[in-house]
Amino acid sequence: MRRLCILGSTGSIGTQALEIVRTKKEEFKIIALTANSNVELLIEQAKEFKPSYVVIMDESKKNYLKDKLANLEIEVLTGIEGLEYVSTLKEVDIVLTAVVGMIGLRPTVQAIRSQKRIALANKETMVVAGEIIKKELKEYKAEIIPVDSEHNAIFQALQGNKKDEVARIILTASGGPFRGYKKEDLKDVTPEMAIKHPRWNMGKKISVDSATLMNKALEVIEAHWLFDLDYDKIDVIIHPQSIVHSMVEYIDGSIIAQLGVTDMKLPIKYALEYPKRTDNISDYLDLKAVAKLTFEEADTETFECLKLGYLAGKIGGSMPTVLNAANEEAVKLFLERKISFLEIPKLLQSAIENHKVEHNLTIEKIITIEESTKKYINELIK
Ligand code: NDP
Ligand code: MG
C-alpha cells in the first residue's frame, strides 16, 4: 500500500491522480489532499477518499470546510504552513506536487527533508530552485520521479542505460494551438484561443505556457536539473501528434523513445508505481489510427519564449527564477486581459535584461527575487 499526499488535488493533474487511486484502491491510500480555493471539490474528494488531512490555502474558507467535514475525523489546515505540514507526515510515502507555480517550492523542500518520494508535476519548483533541490535530494537521499510527460518519457528511456553514454535528450513539443502562426497572426489572439490546447486538457496557466512555448522553455530548464545535462545536450523538436513523449539519443546513435496516448494518467501512474508497472487504465495506443508521426523545427523567431528559456538557463543563478516569476505574472495579466499575447515575451525579456544575476541562492532569496520580479512586471505595464 502506497500512502499519498496530493498537493493540488483539485487541479487537472490532481483529479487525474485521484482517478488512478479510484481504480487502484488496493494499491493506494490517500493521507492528505489540498486546494487553493475550490472548497466544494475538496469537500467532495474528502468525502470520497477520507484523508486524514485537508489543506485549503484560502483561510476564509477554513470554517466552512470544517463544518462540512465535521463528522469525518479529518484535520483541516490552511496556508503554506499547512502544505508544508502535510508534505512531511510520517504516514506519507509519496508527495505528488501538482500545485501550479512556484508556491510548490517550500512544501517540496520539506518533503525532500522528510525523505519522501516526490512525484513531481510542479515544474516551476525545479526551474527556480533546481540547484538547491539537487543538493537536498543528495543530502537527504530522497528521490524525484518526474510526472511531466516529457521528463517521465526520458526517465523511462534512461532505465538500464548509462548516463555517461547519453549524447543528448530530445524533448518533444506539440507546438500548441498556434503552431504555424506568425507574429502578425498572434497580435489579437485571446485567452480563450490560447487555453484551447489541441492535444492535452490542462490547467489554464500551463495551457497559456504551451501556446507561447514557454512550457517547453521551463521543461528545458527542468530537464537540465533533473537529468544533470548541459543545455547543449537538450534539444526541442515539434511533434504535433504528441505520441512520442520524448527521446534519449545515446553516443552510438541509438535513440530510445517512449510512446503512448496523450493521457497524463500514464506518466502520473508510472511515477506513483515506479519501479512497478501495472495494468493500463487508459486507452491503448492505436498506431494505425495515428498513421503518421511528424517532426519539425520549432519557430523560435515567432515563439521567443523558448529562446529566452535557453538564455536564462545558461546564465543560471537567479535568472531562471526571474524568467519564471515574470512569466507567472505575465500569464496572469494576459488571462485578465490586461496585456496582449505578444506582450508576454516582451515582458520576460525586459525582466531578464533588468536583473543582475545572483548566485548562491537560498529559498528566502528566491522568494524575494520572485516578489521583486512580479512587482517590476506590474510597474512596466502601468
Ligand atoms: P491546475 O490549475 O489545473 O491545478 C492547480 C492546483 O493547484 C489546483 O488544485 C489548485 O487549487 C492548486 N493551487 C493553485 N494555486 C495555488 C496556490 N497559490 N496555493 C496552493 N494551491 C494552489 O494546474 P495543472 O494541474 O494543470 O498543473 C499543475 C502543475 O503540473 C503545474 O506546475 C503544471 O505545469 C504541471 N503539469 C501539468 C500538466 C497537465 O497536463 N495539466 C502536464 C505537465 C505538468 P484550486 O483548484 O482550488 O484552484
Ligand atoms: Mg510537459
Nearest CA, atom 41, ligand 1 = 202
How many separate domains does the chain show? 2
Residues 275 and 228 in one domain: yes
Task: Give dist(CA 186, CA 302) in Å, integer.
Answer: 9
Residues 107 and 158 in one domain: no
> Considering 128, 146, 164, which residue would you say is the last residue of a domain?
146
Residues 128 and 174 in one domain: no
DSSP H helices, the chain, are 12-23, 39-49, 62-68, 79-87, 105-113, 123-140, 149-158, 183-186, 191-194, 204-212, 214-227, 265-273, 287-290, 304-315, 319-335, 343-354, 363-381
Identify the CATH number of the domain in which residue 328 sits: 1.10.1740.10
Identify the CATH number of the domain in which residue 83 sits: 3.40.50.720
258 Cα–ligand 2 center, Å: 13
Spell out a b/e string for 169-194, using b for 16 or more CB atoms within 10 Å of the CB, else e: bbbbbbbbbbbebeeeebeebebeeb
Residues 245 and 342 in one domain: yes
Output the CA–CA distances (angstroms, integers) from residue 287 to 174, 290, 307, in the order listed.
17, 5, 33
Kindly state if the Cβ of 13 falls inside 6 Å of ligand 1.
yes
pLDDT value at residue 197: 79
Instruction: State CA 56 to chain mean position distance.
Output: 20
Put the strands of the sheet holding 117-120 in their side by side order: 75-78, 53-56, 28-35, 2-7, 94-97, 117-120, 143-146
Residues 336 and 191 in one domain: yes
Residues 42 and 161 in one domain: no
> Considering 146, 166, 191, which residue would you say is the last residue of a domain?
146
Mutate to test the pocket of ligand 1, among 18, 96, 99 (most ligand atoms within 8 A of CB): 99
Nearest CA, atom 2, ligand 1 = 203
Nearest CA, atom 45, ligand 1 = 36
Residues 164 and 132 in one domain: no
Residues 56 and 10 in one domain: yes
Task: Give dist(CA 2, CA 272) in Å, integer.
Answer: 8
Ligand nearest to the Cα of 147, by number: 1
Mutate to test the pocket of ligand 1, among 5, 36, 56 (most ligand atoms within 8 A of CB): 36
- In this structure, the strands spanning 166-173 and 244-250 are antiparallel
Kindly state if the Cβ of 103 falls inside 6 Å of ligand 1.
yes
100 Cα–ligand 1 center, Å: 4
281 Cα–ligand 1 center, Å: 22
pLDDT one digit per residue (tens) for the chain, 382 residues: 999 999 999 999 999 999 999 999 999 999 999 999 999 999 999 999 999 999 999 999 999 999 999 999 999 999 999 999 999 999 999 999 999 999 999 999 999 999 999 999 999 999 999 999 999 999 999 999 999 999 999 999 999 999 999 999 999 999 999 999 999 999 999 999 999 877 778 999 999 999 999 999 999 999 999 999 999 999 999 999 999 999 999 999 999 999 999 999 999 999 999 999 999 999 999 999 999 999 999 999 999 999 999 999 999 999 999 999 999 999 999 999 999 999 999 999 999 999 999 999 999 999 999 999 999 999 999 9
pLDDT value at residue 200: 76
Residues 176 and 325 in one domain: yes
- Domain of residue 344, residue span: 152-380
Number of neighbouring beta carbons within 10 Å of residue 112: 27
> Considering 146, 168, 184, which residue would you say is the last residue of a domain?
146
57 Cα–ligand 1 center, Å: 13
DSSP 8-state code for residue 243: -
> Which are the contacts of 134, defined by CB distance < 8 A and separation ≥ 6?
225, 228
